[in-house]
Every structure is written in C-alpha cells, then in structure tokens.
Structure 1
Amino acid sequence: MPPIPSETHPAALPLTTAADVPEDQWNDWRWHMRKRINTVEKAQKWIRTTPAEEKAIAESAGKYRWSLTPYYASLMDPDDPLCPVRQQAVPSLGELMEYHGTDVDPVGDMFYRKTNRVVHKYPDRVIMLITEACPVYCRHCTRKFHTTDVDGTYFEKNEGEDFTADLQYIADHPEIRDVLLTGGDPLSYMDGKLEEIISGLRAIPSVEIIRIGSRFPVLLPQRITTELCEMLARYHPVWLNTHFNHPKEITPESEQAIDRLLRHGIPVGNQTVLLRGVNDEVDTMRKLMTELLRIRVRPYYLYHCDNVTGVAHFMTSVEKGWEIMEGLQGHITGFGVPQYVLTTRLGKIPMAQPSYKQVPEGLLLRNYKGQEMVVSQDVYPVTEPSADHGDGGR
C-alpha cells in the first residue's frame, strides 16, 4: 500500500481547475501561452503526477522539449496516467526506449526540402515549415525531431528570418497551386507575422489555395479569435486542418472556435492519428467521428502513427487500423469515414482493405456486416470491352 501523502506533499494539495482562473484570463490565449506547464512542479498544480511520469520528465530533459497549456491540462484526468489527453501531452518513458526501424524523418521532409522552409513532395502542392513552436508539444508528433528534439531541427537558419527565398521558389514553380503552412504550429505566430506570410503567398498568381495545419482548435481554442478569422478571410480560399484525436478534446471552447472559423468561410478538416492506448478502439473512434460531424468538422485522414524516433510506443499494427475502418464503414454516414493512410517517402499510401475482389463470375462484393454477393460481369463489367468485340450493346 503506497504511503499516505503528508499535508504538504503535492499529491495531497488541492488541484487547480479552470474555475479557479479569472474568466478574462482563461479566455485570453496569450495568458495560456505565458502560463504553459513545463516542469513537474507546474504539472502538479493540475494533475497528480506518477513516479513514472516524473522520471520521464527528468530523463527527457536535454533531449525533448515539453509544454502544455493550462486549457489542455484542464481536460486531463488528474488521477489517471492513462487518460487519453494526458498521454498525448505528458512525457512517458516510452519516448526514451529504442524501437526497431525508427527514423527522425520517416515522411521525407528533409529529402524533399527545397529551401529553408519549402518541402516539395507532390507535383502541385508544397508545405512550408514556418515555425518550430507549438502551444503543446504532442508526444506523438511526426516532426518530433524538428519541434521537440533539443538539438534537432530541419531549419538551416533561424525560423523568423526573411521568407523571400521560400516565396520565390513557389513563384518560380507555377505548377504549385496549393500551399500548406505547418511547422510546428503556424498559429503560434501573432496575427501580424502570420498575415505577412499569407499575403506574400496570395501575391503569387499561381497559388490558388492556402491551407493551415494547426492543433490550436484542440490545444488552445481561445487562439481562434474573431480578429484572426477576419484576417484569414481576407485571403480566401483558406482552409484549416486540425487534429482531434479523442472525443474528450471536443469541448464547448473548441466547438466555439470551429464555429468561428466556419462563419468566416474557413472549412475545417480533421486528421486523426491512430494512437495505441488513446483511440485504438472502434467505439472511441466512432464517437470521435460522429462528434466531429456534429460540430461540422469533416473527418479527412486517419493517419497510421509513423515509426518516428521517440514516438514508436504509440504505434499500432496495420491490422488494428483495418479493424477500426471496418468498424466505421456502414455505421456512420459516408463522409464521416476518414481515409486511412500510411505516410512514407513515397507519399500518403491509402491503406483501406478493398470490399470487393474479382472472381470468374464477375465481382464478389462485401458490405460492412460481412454479407457477400456476386454481381455478374454482364451487369457491372470489370474490364473495358475490346474494340474487336464492340460495346456489348451498351
């Protein structure tokens, strides 16, 4: 039986909650950024840290950065280290273990990087890694080396230096019609700096779409201010993709942030990461997707967790991903089912299992219940008719 904490031990002291913070401060995203939690002592004001968490925080010092906003801390179960929100934000010993096949850059950012910030992987679109900073350093980040590894980053120069070379590369490649701002989190910048970057992109005639990848709607929804949305709306079409990974992250504050974006004409998509112990159950994923639809966020991708150094403990099997997808198909509306993908140097590879196969009689089809039927080649031709045989009366 563990020892009973003394009255002065952190575990025995009352915890902070959102209700303890004055409303004007709680609603100010700058207050949350100033008050970010990045020590055991600060964390113990919100959660009762375990010895394993305290050891992970100590041993990751000098290796990985970590911080979380008071808002995101308020979503954590203060007593359960397996809380799905807590696992995403508090360091764990799994980050320091070695796993087979890990890589600091499995998606090939450095391989495809053309300037200090521009990564040109697909013909008609690029990403711009415009910052290392995030409000919360997610423990499962694909770019963990770039954002939290103390000695590592993809940048050759300081991130805030002149963007001229990056914008010039995009202007010199008119095939680029779609630019995704990512990082880190682009909304870590103040509105003025962010507008400077976006206006520079909008001045390039060939750039049709500007997208922003941001977890602020999840980690600190107070950042989605009316002023920010009005600024973004001046540069339409602007899209925003975010990462809700668990239903606990959908709160009245995040719902209001999404509503504000939508009312300013900014569509919001969601890119969930499949994470062991966080959302790798069918019921959890169904609830997440239906809740996203309720707040008018379109499920976009279900990412298989990348085999990133310091992240591999979150990985599931691909078979688990298939199980999740089977459990979604047919149980929620079609546009609520994300595309399951594995990200590689070759790009995003769709991983959904086919619901059909070719048989001598035609096509063998299978529905979400596992029921099967065969449709004849005469009804739904599998192959195009040859010119010699005509079109079969069609």
Structure 2
Amino acid sequence: MEDVDVSDLWDCSQEEWDDWRWQLANSITTAGELKEKFNISDQQVKQIEEAREIFPMSITPYYASLIDFDQELCPIRLQAVPQKAELEQSKYEMDDPLHEEEDSPVSGLTHRYPDRVLLMVTNKCSMFCRHCTRKRKVGDGESRVDLEQIKKGIEYIKDNPQIRDVLLSGGDPLLLDLDILEEVISELKDIPHVEIVRLGSRVPVVLPQRINDELVNRLKKYSPLWINTHFNHKKEVTPRAKEALNKLADNGFPLGNQTVLLRNVNDCPLVMKELMHELVKNRIRPYYLYQCDLSRGIEHFRTSVSTGIEIIESLIGHTSGFAVPRYVVDAPGGGGKIPITPNYLVSNSRRKTVLRNYEGDIVVYTEPEIKEDNCPEECNVCTENKEKAANGEAVEPSGVQKLLSEDTKEFSL
C-alpha cells in the first residue's frame, strides 16, 4: 500500500510524509489509532490491546502503509501488530536469552568474542518489532542509555587492545542525535586497535526517510562504516527502501543484512530466495539468517532448526554463493553464534574425502601427499603472536582452536 496517496490514510502533505521526524511523531501506538486507519474488528482491537500491555506497539506510518489487513498472514502485519499469541509463554523463554547482561563488563557493552564487542548506544527504536530479542530494553523508560554510559564503554574498548571490531546497536543507532553519534564514531575511530565500526539498524526497512543527505554526508567521513540492515521479507524492499539503500551504497557504506527466520513470514525456501535476490540486487550482502531466539512471547514465530537447514539447502548451489547467508543459532546462555549447515561431508580418511554436492551426487576429493605437517622453519607467526599476547596485544587461542594448537597439553574443554 506504500505507493497509494498517503492523504487517504494520513492527513499530511507529501513533504510531511517524507520527513522522518513526522513519521516518528505520528507512529501508531494504540489499537484505536490502528482502527482509525484500517478496517479491523473490535475483537482484533481487544486482542491487540491485551498483547500491547505486555510489549508496547509502535509502527511508523510508512511501515503501517505496507500492511494488507485483508491478508491473514501478511508478513508486515505479523512483524508489526501485536497478536494474541504473544500472551502465551513457553517455559523455555527468557528475558535475556543470549545472556548479554552477564557478558557485560561495563553497563551497555557486551564482550562475548575475543576481538569484538557490542556497544549499546540507545534503547530507542523507530518500530517495536514483535520478534524483538531485546524486549526487556527497547521502549523501556527505565533502560535509558546516556552519554556517560557510552563513554564508559569506549574507555573499556580503549583499555582492551584485543578489540578490533565494534558493533553499535540498541535500539537503533541511526535514531541517535547526529552530534552524539558522530562523537561516538569519531572516538572509536581514533582508537588505534579498532579496525572496524559497524551499525546495526532497522531504519532502512521501517523508516527509510531517515536516510537523508544530512545523515549520509556526516557519517561518510568515517568510511569504512559498515551498516547491517534487517530485511525479513521481499515486501519490505519497497521503492522508498531502495532509494535509501542506493543513497548508502553510492556513498561507500558497505551493507549487510541480518534476517530472522520467522514462522509464516519467511519460513519458505522460495520466499527466502526471493528476499536474498532482492538484497543482492540492491547491493546488500546477505550476512546472517538467525534462528529465532528464546525471548518471551515469541514462541509463535519460532520454527524448527530443520526448517532453516532446508532453506539453506535450497540456496546452496541453486543461487549465487554471495546470496547465501550464514544460518546461525545464537546459543542460549551466551554461547555465541553457532553456524548450522546441511551435511555435505559423507566420510573421510587421511588420503580421501568423500563429499556430496547440492544435486546429491557423491564425489571424492583426493588429499595431497604431505610427509610433514609442521610449519616451515622460517615461519615465525606463532612466535610473534605469543609475544603480542605477553604484551596484552593479542589473546591466547581458546575453544577448539586451543585444542588444535601444537603447544597445548589439554585434551578436553
């Protein structure tokens, strides 16, 4: 519906519609407001209000204009409008399924992996996605992120030279005041050991008006600045969204996408392939396909892991390699992202590895004859890394990598 005359639904000018601040100021936050714009029943209003008491509703007029209320399983509606199923809770669900709070050495910063951290810079979002994994923070007035907290996170990053990659998250970083966002990015870019700064944002999907010339011109000074978007269905890749994506890509922002696997939204191989193709056509690299987290009230969105494997099976070999995202389960309890793929390894020995391809053919790959597995004598990479570790510049191997090291005497984790 996004291309209809918006004055039919909202009493506004085209100039107002194109203003991201107007969009936020006129976000739909009650079932009554939704009923004013769309043909929904009193029973639906009651169910929306009941679910809204558990997790607030906020939908930008732009994203609401994409909803087809005549379609029971409209993928836009399912992601935006509260529903009765949210009131049902599974005993497996948690407020903080990924243990972000426990992996937080300072407030608002999660340090789970050795060389990268997630820094929360705001709890504000342009829309409250019904499948949100951070419902405990988003839209919660008690969970505000202030500049003092962000500064403490930056100091932690400065004091830990192994950190080379910082992801700014929230909430949505692109809703921050640009002066503050610039200040944060500038300070991070001035840290010698920080090589990459990324922003995770749903703005190109639900509020593409925010991607304007002012934002682009102020942020492109810090290139490369990676932006991970969050498109879950082809219907979200509208002409307006494409305009925003082109503005980012044309100005040198590398774009990736993180899709969440959602029941009745995109849990179909054909639907997912269509989305991946739309992404790459618009210069977005599919990055992750997430298994839905164990957050409270979203049991109805979760699929089986086998569904995700089937989708990946339908992509590998059947489309371009760069159009295939990495399917991951973000392990409950802070275990991190675990990649899940179909099994293409049939068997192997020291001399031969038996594989199957995407068509089901069984093939053999003959291994090279290697008399010695040791590194060349002139190689000193490991020695240099040990010296760096002693000076606090690097981290000793951990996990399975540690077991594979020639220097370890451990035989189990």
Instruction: State the TM-score, normalized to the length of structure 1.
Output: 0.87
Quick one: which amino acid aligns to residue 39 of structure 2? R
Structure 1 partner of 2:398: none
Structure 1 partner of 2:153: 166
What whole-Å deviation, never above 9, does each CA across 1:95-120 have from its counterpart, x for those lacking one?
11021311111112111112121111
Is 1:363–2:353 an aligned residue pair?
yes
Among candidates 343, 346, 350, match of residue 339 of structure 2: 350
Matches within 5 A, 1:2-81: 18=6, 20=8, 21-50=12-41, 53-81=44-72
Matches within 5 A, 1:301-340: 301-340=288-327
What whole-Å deviation, never above 9, does each CA across 1:52-111 have from its counterpart, x for those lacking one?
642332213442111000000111113224100110000011111021311111112111
Contact kept, 8 Å, 2:30 with 2:49, in 1: the verdict is no
Is 1:82–2:73 an aligned residue pair?
yes
- SS where residue 76 of structure 1 aligns? coil
Is 1:176–2:133 an aligned residue pair?
no
Matches within 5 A, 1:185-334: 185-334=172-321
CA displacement at 1:191 relative to structure 2: 1.6
CA displacement at 1:45 relative to structure 2: 3.5
CA displacement at 1:384 relative to structure 2: 5.9
CA–CA distance in 1 between the matches of 2:236 and 2:219?
Answer: 24
CA displacement at 1:19 relative to structure 2: 5.2
CA–CA distance in 1 between the matches of 2:217 and 2:364?
Answer: 54
CA displacement at 1:355 relative to structure 2: 1.0
Matches within 5 A, 1:101-140: 101-140=92-131
- SS where residue 157 of structure 2 aligns? helix
Contact kept, 8 Å, 2:329 with 2:337, in 1: the verdict is yes
Structure 2 partner of 1:5: none
Q: CA RMSD in A?
A: 2.1
Quick one: which amino acid aligns to residue 185 of structure 2? I
CA–CA distance in 2 between the matches of 1:343 and 1:79?
Answer: 34
Instruction: State the TM-score, normalized to the length of structure 2.
Output: 0.83
CA–CA distance in 2 between the matches of 1:256 and 1:222?
Answer: 9
CA–CA distance in 2 between the matches of 1:82 and 1:273?
Answer: 17
CA displacement at 1:251 relative to structure 2: 0.7
CA displacement at 1:373 relative to structure 2: 2.5
CA–CA distance in 2 between the matches of 1:367 and 1:53?
Answer: 48
CA–CA distance in 2 between the matches of 1:285 and 1:52?
Answer: 32
CA displacement at 1:282 relative to structure 2: 0.7
Structure 2 partner of 1:8: none
CA–CA distance in 2 between the matches of 1:32 and 1:199?
Answer: 28
Contact kept, 8 Å, 1:46 with 1:78, in 2: the verdict is no
Structure 2, unaligned stretches of length 5 or more? 375-413
Structure 2 partner of 1:9: none
Moved more, 355-364 or 23-32: 355-364
CA–CA distance in 2 between the matches of 1:293 and 1:283?
Answer: 16
Contact kept, 8 Å, 1:77 with 1:86, in 2: the verdict is yes
Contact kept, 8 Å, 2:346 with 2:356, in 1: the verdict is no
Is 1:141–2:132 an aligned residue pair?
yes
- SS where residue 45 of structure 1 aligns? helix
Structure 1 partner of 2:86: 95
- SS where residue 46 of structure 2 aligns? helix
Quick one: which amino acid aligns to residue 191 of structure 2? I
CA–CA distance in 2 between the matches of 1:384 and 1:125?
Answer: 36
CA–CA distance in 2 between the matches of 1:387 and 1:73?
Answer: 60
Quick one: which amino acid aligns to residue 69 of structure 1? T
What whole-Å deviation, never above 9, does each CA across 1:306-332 have from its counterpart, x for those lacking one?
111112210000010111111111121
Quick one: which amino acid aligns to residue 191 of structure 1? L
Question: Aligned pair count?
Answer: 364
Structure 1, unaligned stretches of length 5 or more? 1-15, 389-394
CA displacement at 1:350 relative to structure 2: 0.3
CA–CA distance in 2 between the matches of 1:317 and 1:290?
Answer: 24
CA–CA distance in 2 between the matches of 1:265 and 1:56?
Answer: 45
Identity, % of aligned positions? 44
